[in-house]
Amino acid sequence: INVTMALTNGEWYYMTIKGCNPAGLCVIASSDGVFVDTLPPVFVYVKDGEKECYHNVLDVKYIQQPHNDYVSCWLVEEPYSGIDHFEVGVGSAPYMYNYMPMTDVGLNHTIEKHEFLAGINNTHVFTTVKAVSRSGLISFDADMNGLLFDTTPPIIGLVLDVPSNPNNMSYGSDID
């Protein structure tokens, strides 16, 4: 049997067959169904942050303690078949995974980074995540905008108290 029909995304389809013998005895059987999902998961947001990462937390660009409380988090929409798992990689440039290769992290929406970032300084770190739906569809890679790890304090420069007119030295402030 060849059936041609347009299938709608997000719908279940079942096949029911009725078979009858020449004596008129019939039996009916139905399939367990097939679900149509043609849309890959879509990321709502991806963020780097400290400690806990929620949708209302700002995405940070700098961090001073790369081994303490650093997380990346994401939220994804997959209204039809749901998420099977996420894959995450971490590196020194977008889509480079030299700190952590792409790794299946299950259904975790957050990854904490500790050991593999110890000792780095003055370095950008980029996290890339992809979502795989239960129907096997893969999202576009979502790349965090990067985070600069900087554990060095600022260096104090030379501060001079010089009035605008050196010929008129007096006590007080001279603000231009």
Express each pLDDT in 3-52 by its tens digit.
788 888 888 889 899 999 999 999 999 999 988 888 899 988 787 766 66
pTM: 0.69
- In this prediction, residue 125 carries a pLDDT of 81
pLDDT tens for residues 111-144? 776 566 666 777 778 888 999 999 899 998 887 7
List, as one string, the DSSP characters of the chain: -----PPPTT-EE--EEEEE-TTS-EEEEE---EE------EEEEEEEEES---TTSPPPSEES-TTSSEEEEEEEE--SS-EEEEEEEEESSTT--SSEEEEE-TT-SEEEE-GGGTT--SEEEEEEEEEEETTS-BPPPEE---EEE--SPPPP-------SSTTS--SS----
